[in-house]
Amino acid sequence: MTRLKIQDIREGDIFYESSQAVTAKFLASQDPHSDEIDIQGRVHTRWHLKALHEVSNTIQHFTVTEGFEHYGPSLYTQPAYVVATSQGFSYPPLS
């Protein structure tokens, strides 16, 4: 499992957001884009990404500000949390 940087995700990529023992699967619907934001006199790059949520079939907007990544979403190449089922392993999706 690898943690992803939002700026490295590309349209069509599948990725997972995992937090507090639950996981959501997404399909990137566009390449990320950036802008700049002034925070207390310092300019930071802010990344934006839209992705389709697997369960609800709705578009989720992700935003990460460089230097403040720890406040943003935890994005991964694979689910961070899995549960054992009679068919093997699956991830507990956000509904």
pLDDT of residue 2: 86
Asked if residue 95 has pLDDT above 50, the reply is: no
**Pairing state of beta strands 42-53 and 59-65?**
antiparallel
Query: For the chain, how many helices (H) and strands (E)?
Result: 0, 8
What is d(CA 24, CA 51) in angstroms, rounded to the nearest whole number? 11
Check residues 71 and 93 and name the one with the higher pLDDT. 71
* Domain locations along the chain: 6-90
User: Structure pTM?
Assistant: 0.81
Check residues 83 and 29 and name the one with the higher pLDDT. 29
pLDDT digits (tens, 9 = 90+) for 45-73: 999 999 999 989 999 999 999 999 989 89
pLDDT of residue 48: 97
